[in-house]
Chain A
């Protein structure tokens, strides 16, 4: 039995903290992780998990089906066209990418401004720039769930059943291309969605605006080029199809879009990068001018 005389009151009131602090880098990591968790609905009510789960299902189910087919059917099924190539696979998961694009950045940026968290973040070691770096990292990470994960899963499945590239060098080359393509898509759609989200505090309005912007740009540019005979260069403003065309070029595959296919690879990839940079610049300019202390 414990000696009653040895009992002590351990509640010592407010404690000082003399340990090491992680500074701005730790703040960026913490905000990025916290933001990604919230965007994926982790540590939140069930209703916040619906969209992330739906997008993940849309992105991974085709990959699981194709992996199953690869197991069941003999031969190199990508070579003979039975299974889609890595670039073609993105066309099957376009819906998942659009859902995530329309949902993630508004959740990540608009919420902070509406709830006043932005003021608390900027009263920490974060600056506006490092805050945006943290948020962009989270958006890229979450989008990578649908842009990077499924093709990597598909590659792994194909390799395991002998339908994938042969040898470690060839596999590594495909991994690099998948990472490049996934990063390109995540950066493009993430920056675009962040740019729209920097303009309004309303999540629903931002999400709707992202979808409308993507679809409208496709409809308008395709109509002008195909129906009105405008220059294919105009398709560089097709924000819906342009990044997927860039992905096709990253994998060195022939284009499925005859008009976009007439444009040179550096032009397509350059335009995709230029849109990404322009959208990022808009976000930065919007946040530079943001009033945060109220």
Chain B
């Protein structure tokens, strides 16, 4: 993961977007920094609408959007020149060779023909397509077409790529390869990535940050560490003295919840000023309990998502 200080890639403030009577995005406020950011949410939550707003394809009914420091509604051409985009759908011109297709996309992003041809070839090679690049798109597998979509998105050297459901339709092996490729785009190609997905685990695996959408609203956003940050706590496993241990901690103001054979200990309001590990140590001594395991509580993105969506 990049250690460089994060810079703002895109942001929105109070963004409202309606399609007729349907509110696609409501008062959405978000900030996307460099690295890989996941737009996370179920189908219909507004992810694709947000991508459309970032590309300047839609105009927000209210609020403000900026991409690479520019307003895409006013300076859409300038924004799109520096942004790569891979759509969700798999339909591509079936009789066009992959090489010709990527070259054409490079040319419409302003590259001279010779440079476009060279970069198209390079980009297809980089995403793992060798001789297949001379085959018509209609003869490629879904996985290969996803790679072609990735190649056309990065071939013209954008500052940012927007990937709409990049693993859609892929089998588990292809999915792993695609996720690794997306991470490479950020780390090796040094291109910032925003990907939309309804799959929590893939966002958790490769993203530095996430913007979580639910029913057209941004319900949470930040780095994965920040998103998990409100869910601190310790997981404790005891062999002896569990009842006294729990009673002691509850008297000290902690919240203790059984989770199978483990106990999840979190700081309650009354214990807010105390170090949780110290409290667990003191409780173990006072209850004469035998501690088998003590680890920080890790929270999956799924728990965060369910929590903020609720």
Contact = CB atoms under 8 A, between A and B. Distances in A.
Interface of A: 13-17, 19-24, 26-27, 30-31, 34, 43-45, 48, 111, 114-117, 119-127, 292-294
Given A120-B85, A122-B57, A21 B111 contact: yes
Contacts of A122: 55, 57
Name the 8 nearest CB pairs between A and B, nearest first: A21-B110, A123-B85, A17-B157, A293-B52, A30-B107, A27-B108, A14-B189, A116-B91
Interface of B: 48-49, 51-52, 55, 57-58, 76-78, 80-81, 83, 85, 87-89, 91-95, 100, 104-105, 107-112, 115, 119, 122-123, 126, 152, 154, 156-157, 162, 164, 188-189
B108 A125 contact: yes
Contact of B107 (A14, A26, A44, A292): A26
27 contacts: A13-B188, A14-B188, A15-B119, A21-B110, A22-B111, A23-B81, A30-B108, A44-B95, A115-B94, A116-B92, A117-B92, A117-B93, A119-B85, A119-B89, A120-B105, A122-B55, A123-B57, A123-B85, A124-B109, A125-B80, A125-B81, A126-B80, A127-B77, A293-B55, A293-B57, A293-B87, A294-B88
A17 B119 CA distance: 9
Contacts of A120: 85, 87, 105, 152
A88 B110 CA distance: 44
A127 B74 CA distance: 12
Contact of A125 (B48, B88, B95, B110): B110
Contacts of A19: 111-112, 115
A115 B51 CA distance: 20
B57 A15 contact: no
Given A19-B115, A111-B93, A293-B49, A119 B87 contact: yes
Nearest to B94: A115
Nearest to A130: B77
A127 B76 contact: yes
A184 B122 CA distance: 44
Nearest to A112: B93
Nearest to A44: B95
Contacts of A111: 93
Contacts of B49: 293
A31 B77 CA distance: 15
Nearest to A29: B107
A44 B77 CA distance: 30
A290 B187 CA distance: 36
Contacts of A43: 100
Nearest to B107: A30
Contacts of A127: 76-77
Contacts of A21: 81, 109-111
A50 to B, nearest CB: 14
A116 B80 contact: no
A125 B83 CA distance: 9
A270 to B, nearest CB: 35
Contacts of A123: 55, 57, 80, 83, 85, 87, 162
A201 to B, nearest CB: 11
A177 B32 CA distance: 58
B246 to A, nearest CB: 52
B104 A30 contact: yes
Given A21-B110, A125-B110, A115 B93 contact: yes
Contact of A48 (B81, B89, B95): B95
A34 B115 CA distance: 17
Contacts of A27: 107-110
A122 B81 CA distance: 11
Given A26-B110, A123-B55, 4 more contacts: A13-B188, A24-B77, A123-B162, A293-B58
Contacts of B164: 293
A24 to B, nearest CB: 5
Given A21-B109, A43-B100, A114 B115 contact: no
A222 to B, nearest CB: 41
B108 A121 contact: yes
Contacts of B48: 293-294
A153 to B, nearest CB: 30
Contacts of B188: 13-14
A20 B95 CA distance: 31
Nearest to B92: A115
